[in-house]
Structure formats: C-alpha cells, structure tokens
Amino acid sequence: MKLLIFFYLVIANISNNGKASLESFSPNDNVLFTDTTKSSDKSCHRPCKFNVKPRQCYFSFDVGPVIDDERPALAINGLTPGPSLHVCLHDIIIVQVRNRIPDQDLSIHWNGLEQRGTPYMDGVPMITQCSIAYGSTYKYSFRASKPGTFFYHADSVSQQSDGVYGSLIVDQPQPLEPHSSLYDYDRSKEHTLIFGARFPELISGSLDTFGDVKPNGVLINGKDSAKLFVIPSYSYRLRFINAIAVECPLVVGISEHLVTVVATDGKPVQPIITEAVKLYPGERMDVVVRADRHRSGYWLQVKGEGVCAQLSARAMFIYSGFNYTSLIDYQPNSKFNIEDSSTVKGQDLLSYKQVPPFKNVRSVYLGIDKNMIEFKETDNDFRYVSDVVPKKPFFPAALSLQNGVVQINGKNFLFPDVPYLLKPREVRSELVCEVGNEKMHRDPQCLQLLTANVNEVLELILVNEGAGSNDTYTFHMHGYAMQVLATWQSPAGLPLSRTEFEKLDKEGLIDRNLQNPPVKNSVMVPNKGFTIVRINPEYGGSWMFECRSCALSSLPVAILISVPQPIPKIVVDSLPTCASYRPADVLLN
C-alpha cells in the first residue's frame, strides 16, 4: 500500500510540472521590494528549478582605472572584463555602481534585456537616466524577464573599449530549453567566451587621437588565450559574446569540429550545422559542439575583420586526459581560411517558432551614409548651446576634424540636456527633429525622434547608401527585439539611393521573410545594401536605436524611438538627479 501511495505522489508531481508555464511562476510586482531568498546560500548562480520563488541578486560594481598587463585600463572591481553575472529567470538583479573614473561620467547598459516595466534602468545617459558622476553611485534594479546569453557594458563606447563590460547569463529550468536534447552539459560559467579588444592606449583618456586609434589585439575573457575542457563523446553548449564596441566582426571556429548554432542574441533558432560563425559587435551566439574527435587538444580560433583585420586570438579545446602542454609549442593554422559561404551569420538564421503576422505596419526609411558637411570655418561654434546665446546654426567643432561623418537621413543625434524619458516636457523643442522630416532642422545635429504608439508595428528600412563610404554598420536596438526580414547587398557594388530601393520594393524584388525571421537586437547593414527589421512596441519607454560602432569615428548616429510611458512622480523623485558639473569632453560631444 505504501508503495502504491509513493508512485501516486510521483505521478502527480510529474503531471503538475508538465502543465507548468512561465507565466505561472511569474512573481508579483512587489518582489522588486521584498527579499524572497529563503536559502542560506545567497548565490544566484544555481540550478534553476520550477515552483521556486525568484531571488534578489545583489552585485556591487566599483568602476575605475587600473594597470592591466602593464597598460592602463578601466575595470570593474579590479577586473576586466567585469564579474560574470549568472541568475535564473525572473530573478531581480540589483547592481550598485560606483563611479571611480576621475572627471568622467558613467552609465551601464544591460545589452539585450528588455527592461519591460523598468525603462529607466536601461542605462542610457540623458535618455533614461542622469549619468553617474565621479564619486557617486547609482543602483540599478530590474527583472531578468527573458532567458538567454546577454552582457553588460558602459554606455560610452570609449569606456567599454577600455574594459567596462562583462557577461550576463539568464538560465531557466532545463526542461524549458528548446534545444536541451542536443547537448549534455551547459556549463555557462566555464564555457562562456566574451570577446574584447585591446587598444594601445586608454581611449577614454585621449582626445587628440579620437577616432584614429585601432585595436591591436583580440581578447578572450580578458586574456590572449583561454582553455575549454571537455569529456570525449559528450556535447557541450558554448556561449559566444562579441563585446567589442567598434566595427570588428569576428569569425569563430574549432579546428576539426563542426558546431550547431542554437540561439542568437538570446533567442532560440532552428539548429544549423556549420564550420564557423560570424559575430558582429554586440551579437551573441550559442552553439553546441560534440567532443567526437580523437582524444587530443584542438584550437578554437578567432579571426578579426573590419578594423580588427589581421588580428586573431585562440583558445585550447582540450579533451580530458590529454596533456595540453604539448599544444603550447604547436601553432594553429594562422590562415584560418574558412570560406564566407561556410560561415553562419545571425541574420541568416531562422527563428525557432513562426512569428505572428502583423496586419498594419508603418514603414520608416533610414538612409545611412558618411557625409561631408559643408560650412565655413567661421561657422565653427565652440560655445555651449543654451538659452542665453543667440539662436544661430550650430556646427560642432568635431565636424572640422573628420573626413565626413556617418549620419541617418543627413543628421547626427543630439542628446538632450535632461533625461528624455523622465522629463520629456523639459526638453527644448528646437533641439528635436522628427524622423523623416529632418530637413526641417537647420543644424547638423538634432534629437531625432520617432514617436509610436503601443503595438504600432514599425518596419525600419535601413539602407546603407554607400555614396560616401565602403563601410558596414552594426546597429543595436534597446528595449525591443527586432524581426530581421531581409538583408541584401548590391552585387555590382553600386550605391543605393532611396529612389532605387523604393523601385525594387514596388517591383516585388525584395523578398521579406515573414514566417520565421530571426529575432535579434543587433543587426548588420551591409555596404551598399539594406536590412529590413520590424519592431512591435508592446510596452512603453524611450529606446535608442544606435550605431555604437560608429561612435569612435563620428558624432552620435542614432534615433530615439519613443512610446509614451508616464513614469510615476514617486519613481522620478527617487532616482538620482543630474549633477551640475559636466566635464568639457562630455559637453563637446
């Protein structure tokens, strides 16, 4: 009889778990303010289970200068990259950030996390928050609402390039992983590779060489090399993160091994087997590799492109029982010549599930190109823009120091003087220009604003017109995921104008993948080509859509997508206010 009761309880438990859904475990909103940690073990890196309340995961970041490998760098708690954050789905992440960088402001962006309900935690200065002034602190608090591979970094491209970045992994119960049958082990702590760049000098401390300094090395987890240990005949999930802020695509492959791509930018995809993968700045890719070769040691190789051309890095892929010291003297194939057709890119993938169709779609054209701004030397204006000076066209001094600047619809982005999300009515109207009507604004910079309503589907048509450059640009979307419908490049290498694009579209020559497009938050726009994405703004907020990789060699290249979201006064009043002191380099930028 006891045995019968035992089996009944087991079957009942399995049945209940089988009916489980993510929504059924979603905590109440007051979890943001209530400690739900019951265990004496305060670690948030743990096996994620069903029917267990989420935890509050506390982290403390001290960001400041250090000497790393005999060169100056910026570090978090003395580390670059910073601490790896590992949490479970629905955990509350609380990070207290203290800025110890002299004479510089700071903010931290949580790349790939939606910030649904907490748009003021997105980490964009003067858009979602006031910058963290030197010597002050800011407490971020938000829910890990989606599982996947993410990372965090300084919103400043120069500070990120100097070392302010780190991995952020959100796990979920193993039965909910769509591709868990493809691998035996998911050791995210040991098998997450975050790729960075080494620069010959401290970028954030240099004004004279702004935009001219290029990386001189590629790093794996902050080092020139790394080690991955595996057991023969078992399969492993590896997580790759391109945390390089400049335009530095990376090709990654393991000698004599194939990999199966299972996710991109934290979203599952239909599995595809390949020799190597290509990651553009900000992209993440999860792959599965099976240790089915001869028991030995192999090289995981990383090859840079773009501004990282001729740069490479490597990691040891070591089978257990193999004496890897014999690999030290063995140089891998330095050529690493994998055909581009054999390399899988995130935009080539197909989403794991079919996406719902959208009936009403609003199309927005964004023409991207490097332009020369024609103005007289006397037009250079070195003053601070304020209400007390005459209203005349403003030409930032940086325009005279560049061989053209990258722009969207002929304009560069201008950050407001107060956080737009928190105090939109205090933003001066003459600084704002509506996306699509930028020509009405007389200055080369303006706050390019695209206003939309909740659930108003936007189709962003990103055309790299290519008349002024031969560059490829990578764009990152804050807050929302993007469906990547199409990517195309002119086979003849000819510039592409808006008129020519609209002709192609009208003639039905553009094939949009409307059934299973990959869902991403970082996309590449090829030189003399286009990428088409769709966004469904299901919740409110003020979200940047930006070319971060353009920032070191251009004025800001971005638009602000604003979906009205009233922020309660009690929240606005509880957030740190903007400091009155602003360093000169911040003001001039």
pLDDT of the residue at 11: 36
Retrieve residue 328's tokens. Answer: 């030290």
Q: Is the pLDDT score of 19 beyond 90? A: no
Q: Is the pLDDT score of 251 beyond 80? A: yes
pLDDT of the residue at 70: 78
Q: Give residue 384's pLDDT band: very low, low, confident or very high (50, 70, 90).
A: low
The mean per-residue pLDDT over the stretch 485-503 comes to 96
How far is 407 from 558, CA to CA, in rounded Å?
8
* Close Cβ partners of 30 (under 8 Å, ≥ 6 residues apart): none
pLDDT of the residue at 555: 86
pLDDT of the residue at 443: 85
Side chain identity, residue 300? L
The mean per-residue pLDDT over the stretch 150-178 comes to 96
Q: Is the pLDDT score of 27 beyond 50? A: no
When comparing pLDDT for 286 and 3, which is higher? 286
The mean per-residue pLDDT over the stretch 8-26 comes to 33
Side chain identity, residue 153? H
How far is 302 from 280, CA to CA, in rounded Å?
13
pLDDT of the residue at 18: 32
Q: Is the pLDDT score of 167 beyond 80? A: yes
- Let me know: does 88 contact 144? Beta carbons within 8 Å: yes
pLDDT digits over 76-133, tens only? Answer: 999 999 999 999 999 999 999 999 999 899 999 999 999 999 999 999 999 999 999 9
Percent of the residues in the chain that have a pLDDT greater than 90, as a whole number? 72
pLDDT of the residue at 332: 61
Q: Is the pLDDT score of 156 beyond 60? A: yes
pLDDT digits over 516-558, tens only? Answer: 999 999 999 999 999 999 999 999 999 999 999 887 777 899 9
Instruction: Name the E strands within 275-403.
Output: 276-279, 284-290, 297-304, 312-319, 343-345, 361-371
Q: What are phi and psi of 210, to 5 degrees?
A: -55, 120
| Domains of the chain and CATH, by start | 22-172 (2.60.40.420), 179-350 (2.60.40.420), 361-588 (2.60.40.420)
Q: Is the pLDDT score of 235 beyond 80? A: yes
pLDDT of the residue at 438: 92
pLDDT digits over 296-340, tens only? Answer: 999 999 999 999 999 999 999 999 988 888 777 766 654 566 766
* Close Cβ partners of 507 (under 8 Å, ≥ 6 residues apart): none
Furthest-apart CA pair in the chain: how many Å? 96
Mean pLDDT score of the chain:
87
Region of 508 please: left (phi>0), alpha (psi -120 to 50) or beta.
Answer: left
pLDDT of the residue at 13: 36
The mean per-residue pLDDT over the stretch 357-376 comes to 88
Q: Return the exposure string of 369-408: e unless at least 16 CB atoms fall within 10 Å of the residue's CB, then b.
A: bbbebeeeeeeebeeebeeeeeeeebbbebbeebeebbbb
pLDDT of the residue at 382: 54
pLDDT of the residue at 325: 82
- Cα separation values, 465 from 10, 185, 495, 530, Å: 62, 45, 5, 8
Look at residues 133, 59, 76 and name the one whose alpha carbon lies nearest to residue 102: 133
pLDDT of the residue at 546: 97
pLDDT of the residue at 347: 96
How far is 262 from 182, CA to CA, in rounded Å?
9
Q: Give residue 146's pLDDT band: very low, low, confident or very high (50, 70, 90).
A: very high
Q: Is the pLDDT score of 8 beyond 90? A: no
pLDDT digits over 417-475, tens only? Answer: 899 999 999 999 989 999 999 988 888 899 999 999 999 999 999 999 999 999 999 99
DSSP 243-310: ---SS--EEEEETT--EEEEEETTEEEEEEEESEEEE-TT-EEEEEEE--S-SSEEEEEEEE-GGGTT
Q: Is the pLDDT score of 34 beyond 70? A: no
Q: Please state the separation of Cα 208 from the chain's center in Å.
A: 28
pLDDT of the residue at 83: 96
pLDDT of the residue at 211: 59
pLDDT of the residue at 31: 40
pLDDT of the residue at 41: 45
Q: Give residue 377's pLDDT band: very low, low, confident or very high (50, 70, 90).
A: low
Q: Is residue 342 exposed (0-12), middle (13-18) or buried (19+ Cβ within 10 Å)?
A: exposed
Q: Give residue 16's pLDDT band: very low, low, confident or very high (50, 70, 90).
A: very low
- Let me know: does 296 contact 235? Beta carbons within 8 Å: no
Name 62's bridge partners: 98
How far is 37 from 57, CA to CA, in rounded Å?
9
pLDDT of the residue at 30: 40
Q: Give residue 582's pLDDT band: very low, low, confident or very high (50, 70, 90).
A: low
- Let me know: does 399 contact 406? Beta carbons within 8 Å: no
- Let me know: does 232 contact 319? Beta carbons within 8 Å: yes
Look at residues 459, 453, 449 and name the one whose alpha carbon lies nearest to residue 409: 449
pLDDT of the residue at 359: 83
- Taking the whole predicted model, whether its pTM rises above 0.85 is answered as yes
